[in-house]
Each structure stands twice: as C-alpha cells, then as structure tokens.
C-alpha cells in the first residue's frame, strides 16, 4: 500500500469511532486499512509467514478487547501500534520459550516472502540494512518511515518520550551511515 | 565501532527530525550543501525518502480477522479521559488516607514544626499527582508520557529522601529497630489492601506492561502508607523516616513490580 493510497488519520479515527459503536462495515474497512501497516511492523527476518499471520490475528484480538480505551481526541496510529508492539514482544517471548523446549523434527516453515521485486533497488538495500539494526532502533525507524508516524506519535506508541525517540533515531542514523560507508568501500 | 559523526552530519539528523515531526519537506540551504558534499548522508537521506517495499496480507487472513471481530462486536462505552482517571486516583488517595488518619492519633502534626509540615506535605502531594498521572497514562495504550513510569517512582523516591534529609533533624536512635519495625509492619499492612483498591480502579484500562503497572500500584499504595505514618508517628527524625517509612515505600513498590512480573509471566504461559 503506497502512502497516497492509505486512509488519512481523520478517516481512521472516524472508522474507529464507528467500530466502537458496533458498526460491522467499519470493522471491515479498518482491518483492511490498518493490516498492511501492522503486517510490515510485525514482519521480521526471524519470523515465518505463518507466525506473522498469528501475530497479526493476536494483535487484532487485543485491539478488539481494548477498543473502549481509544479516545477520538487522540491520534489512532500510536494507540494501534502500542498494542501491536506489546503483541510482538509477547509473541517473541512465547516463541523463545517454545524454541527452548522443542526439538526440530521437520523442515522449518517458509520465511516471510518479501515483495522486494516490486521495490526499487535502493528500497531493497535499505530494507536489508534496517534488518541489521538493533530491535529498538529498527522499530523506531519502521514506525517513522513505514507507518509515516511523527516523533510524538512514535513516543506515544512506545510509551516513551519524544527526546528518547529522537536519541534512538539518531543512533540508528549513525549506524546506517556506518553500514553505508562500509558497503561503499 | 561507529564511524565518526561530523558536526555537519548532525544537520541532516536535525532535518530528518524536522521532517518526521511533520514540519515540511523543504531542505535548508546548509543541509542541501552538506548533502551535496557528503556521500553517506546523501545515501541515507535518499533511502529515507524512498517509498518502502510493501508486503501485503493475504485476503484470507484479513477475512478471518474481520469475521472473528464481527462475531463478538458490541457497542462499548469509552474509558474516561486521562485527567478524569488521574483525578479519580487522587480522590481515592485522599479519602482512604483521611479515613485511616481520622481513626488514629495525629501525633505527627504536633511533633513537626510548620516548615516540616509544609515541606513534607508538598512532597507527598506531588507524589500523589505524579503516580496518579502515571497510572492514568498506563491505562490507555498510546498515551503521551510526559514522564516515564520508572522516572515517576524514581523522582518521588529521590524527593522523599532529599526532603527528609533537609527538613528533619538527626537524633540518636531510641529503640530504633523495635519502634521502626512497628511502623514498617503497620505501613505494609495498610499498603497491601490499598494496592488492591487502586488495582480495582485500573481494571477497565489496558495496561501493556504489568511489571510497571504493579510497581506503580505498589508505589502509590506505599505512598499512602507513608502519608498516614507521617502524620501519626511521633518519631520524626532522619534515621527513622528514611529507613522505616522509606522502607514501606520501597518494599511495596518492589513487591508490586514483582507481583506484576509474575502475573505477566504466568499469563504468557497460560496463553
């Protein structure tokens, strides 16, 4: 989904309010409008496609349970991403626990197939660089870049402060510059 | 080892901050000049300006999600605002502490001079406001935290220590352990049910980190116990206040965080 195809913040808020009132159509539009953003956020090089689908479903269940906590005066994306972030951390812990107990008896599930062939070479290169960043820095850049959130919105989504988010973003830029320089040599 | 960041490269960082804060895409002449000169900044900037490759969710998964949600869709009443939730915690705090203090002898008032009374009351009131706001923020995902949760508890703890050191005298301990233990025990006995009351008030929210929530609930319950002890205890010296009254706050905060952590781990296992 390209930036100009996305629903605007006002449209999303309107859908969320209708969802809180129990409107069936709003659920459909909201799920279709937000799922691609959530999918991109929940995808990681360490998760299979089926794991990411499970995470997305868990995330929506949590959004559904918490829908009464959203207030239309606040932006919607930070609220959604705060829940998504929690779901992702929860999923990561659960997966680690399971992995520590399980023995591999079959072929591992397919990894998430990226549609990199639709993207420009620069975008693909950047995606690979992003994957080398520490989780907390990658998360901040993903929210800023992919979800098109502002610094304040990312601070809200990560239960942090604008200053801390700026600091993480600056560290990420420094690392990326370093990687770009190494790749160039 | 990260490559050295030149001062001019920081201009690009600041420019990106400005753009991510939603304040326009127009580059300043200094940044444009630096981008023309610095390869790595130019590449970084172009990467960040690039449209991201978009993965798509399968229609089938989206359909399943829609069906699941629609299966249990009902209208909901919204959670009250952050200010209203915080006010609710403050009112509960004042009512509970007033009810407990009114049933005891308020010897603390008689022992403290007016500077001590005003100073410690100001610190306690600021603590109630800080922790009430922190609880209200935690109830709603995506709230903008002016102060992080751990910092609220830290600021309050530091404020109590500094306040006690500045306001109260040092006296030779008289039955330090026996009388102190009495205060600690009474404080913890009061903090335990109080934390349950505050927990009951939080129940409609969606706290995302139970360890932090537990710690904050423990801290506000501990603060209530410290408030009651402050106005009802006749030992108002640094040693007693720091070790025994401060101990109530510290132990209830730690116990709350530990219980929150256990619940979150147990919940994850059950799921």
- A105-149 pLDDT tens trace: 555 555 444 444 445 666 677 778 888 888 888 888 888 877 778
Tens-place pLDDT, residues B92-114: 999 999 999 999 888 888 899 99
User: Does the pLDDT at position A182 exceed 60?
Assistant: yes
Q: Per-residue pLDDT tens for B31-40?
A: 888 888 888 8
Q: What's residue B24's pLDDT?
A: 60
My answer on whether A95 and A173 are in the same domain is no
Residues 6+ apart with CB under 8 A from B9: A177, B34, B38, B40, B41
CA of B4 vs chain A CAs: smallest distance (Å): 8
Which one of A60, A87, A113 terminates a domain?
Answer: A113
Mark whether A70 and A155 lie in a shared domain: no
Distance (Å, whole) CA A32 – CA A10: 16
Give me the domain span that covers residue A1: 1-113
Return d(Cα B223, Cα B128) in angstroms, integer. 8
The residue extents of the domains of chain B are 7-49, 82-270
pLDDT given at position B270: 56
- ipTM above 0.85? no
Note whether A99 and A140 are same-domain residues.
Answer: no
Mean pLDDT for chain B overall: 88
The reported pLDDT for the residue numbered B144 is 82
- What integer pLDDT is reported at residue B45 of this predicted model? 83
Name which residue leads in pLDDT, B32 or B253: B253
* Long-range contacts of the stretch A9-18 (C-beta < 8 A, 24+): A9/A75, A9/A76, A9/A77, A12/A76, A12/A77, A13/A72, A13/A75, A13/A76, A16/A67, A16/A70, A16/A72, A16/A76, A17/A72
A16 and A101 assigned to the same domain: yes
Q: How many whole angstroms separate alpha carbon A49 and alpha carbon A52?
A: 5
Within 8 A of B55 by CB-CB distance, chain A residues are 36, 39-40, 43, 112, 114-115
Measure CA A39 to chain center. Answer: 6
- Does A148 lie in the same domain as A73? no
Q: Please tell me whether residues A16 and A93 are part of one structural domain.
A: yes
Domain boundary among A97, A113, A129: A113
Determine the straight-line distance between the first and last CA of chain B, rounded to whole angstroms.
41
* Position A65 confidence tier, pLDDT thresholds 50, 70, 90: very high
A159, A68: one domain: no
| CATH number of the domain that residue A179 is part of | 1.10.10.10
* Helix B114-139, helix B149-167: angle, nearest 10: 180
Does B40 contact A114 at a Cβ distance shorter than 8 Å? no
- Residues A66-92: pLDDT tens digits? 999 999 999 999 999 999 999 988 888
**A156 lies in the same domain as A81:** no
Across A39-61, average pLDDT: 86
A58 in the same domain as A133? no
CA dihedral B19, B24, B27, B29 (to 10 degrees): -120
Question: What's the whole-number average pLDDT of chain A?
Answer: 82
pLDDT at residue B141 tops 70: yes
On the question of pLDDT at B181 being above 60, the answer is: yes
What is the rounded (10 degree) CA torsion for A143, A145, A149, A152?
A: 80
Give dist(CA B37, CA B193) in Å, integer.
Answer: 65
Helices A9-20 and A76-101, packing angle to 10 deg: 70
Best residue in B57, B67, B82, B207 to probe A by mutation, most A CBs within 10 Å? B57
- As beta bridge partners, residue A111 has A48
Counting the structural domains of chain A, the total is 2
For chain A, say whether B171 makes contact (Cβ under 8 Å): no
Q: pLDDT confidence of B115, banded at 50, 70, 90? A: very high
Q: What is the spatial distance between Cα B173 and Cα A112, in angstroms, rounded to a whole number? A: 67
Q: What is the pLDDT, as a whole number, of residue A96?
A: 73
Same domain, A70 and A18: yes
Spell out which residues of chain A touch residue B16, defining contact as CB-CB under 8 Å: 169, 173
Is residue A100 domain-shared with residue A130, that is, in the same domain? no
**What integer pLDDT is reported at residue A6 of this predicted model?**
67
Question: From CA A168, how far away is CA A137, in angstroms rounded?
Answer: 6
Q: For a pLDDT cut of 90, what percent of chain A falls above it? A: 29
Residues A9 and A86 in one domain: yes
Q: B19 versus A74: which is more confidently predicted?
A: A74
Backbone phi and psi for residue B4, each to the nearest 5 degrees, phi listed first: -65, 135
Decide if A134 touches B, using CB distance below 8 A: no
Distance from the B39 Cα atom to the nearest Cα atom in chain A, whole angstroms: 8
Q: Which of A68, A92, A113 is the last residue of a domain?
A: A113
**What confidence category does residue B218 fall into, taking pLDDT thresholds of 50, 70 and 90?**
very high
For position A2, which CATH number holds?
Answer: 1.10.1740.10
């Amino acid at each position: 989904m390209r930036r100009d195809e996305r629903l605007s913040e006002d449209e999303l808020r309107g859908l969320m309010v209708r969802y809180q009132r129990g409107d069936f159509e709003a659920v459909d539009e909201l799920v279709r409008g937000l799922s691609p953003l959530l999918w991109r956020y929940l995808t990681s090089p360490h998760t299979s496609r089926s794991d990411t689908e499970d995470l997305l479903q868990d995330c929506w269940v949590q959004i559904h349970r918490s829908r009464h906590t959203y207030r239309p005066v606040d932006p919607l994306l930070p609220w959604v991403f705060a829940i998504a972030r929690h779901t992702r951390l929860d999923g990561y812990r659960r997966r680690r626990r399971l992995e520590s107990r399980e023995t591999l008896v079959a072929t591992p599930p397919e990894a998430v197939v990226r549609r990199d062939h639709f993207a420009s070479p620069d975008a693909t290169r950047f995606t690979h660089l992003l994957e080398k960043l520490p989780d907390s820095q990658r998360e901040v850049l993903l929210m800023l870049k992919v979800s098109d959130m502002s610094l304040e919105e990312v601070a809200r989504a990560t239960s942090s402060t604008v200053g801390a988010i700026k600091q993480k973003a600056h560290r990420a830029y420094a690392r990326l510059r370093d990687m770009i320089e190494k790749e160039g040599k | 080892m990260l490559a050295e960041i030149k001062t001019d490269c920081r201009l690009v960082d600041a420019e990106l901050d400005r753009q991510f804060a939603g304040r326009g895409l127009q580059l300043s002449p200094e940044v444009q000049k630096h981008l023309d000169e610095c390869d790595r900044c130019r590449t970084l900037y172009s990467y960040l300006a690039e449209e991201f490759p978009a993965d798509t969710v399968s229609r089938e998964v989206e359909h399943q999600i829609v069906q699941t949600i629609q299966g249990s869709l009902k209208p909901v009443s919204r959670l009250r605002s952050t200010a209203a939730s915080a006010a609710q915690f403050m009112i509960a705090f004042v009512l509970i502490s007033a009810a407990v203090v009114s049933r005891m002898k308020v010897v603390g008032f008689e022992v403290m001079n007016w500077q001590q009374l005003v100073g410690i009351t100001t610190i306690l009131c600021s603590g109630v406001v800080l922790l009430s706001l922190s609880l209200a923020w935690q109830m709603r995902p995506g709230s903008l935290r002016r102060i992080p949760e751990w910092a609220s508890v830290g600021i309050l703890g530091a404020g109590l220590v500094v306040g006690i050191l500045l306001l109260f005298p040092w006296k030779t301990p008289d039955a330090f352990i026996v009388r102190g233990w009495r205060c600690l025990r009474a404080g913890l006995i009061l903090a335990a049910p109080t934390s349950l009351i505050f927990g009951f008030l939080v129940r409609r929210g969606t706290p995302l980190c139970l360890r932090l929530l537990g710690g904050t609930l423990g801290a506000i319950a501990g603060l209530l116990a410290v408030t009651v002890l402050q106005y009802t205890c006749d030992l108002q010296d640094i040693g007693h206040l720091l070790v025994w009254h401060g101990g109530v706050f510290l132990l209830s905060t730690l116990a709350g965080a530990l219980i929150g952590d256990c619940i979150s781990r147990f919940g994850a296992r059950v799921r």
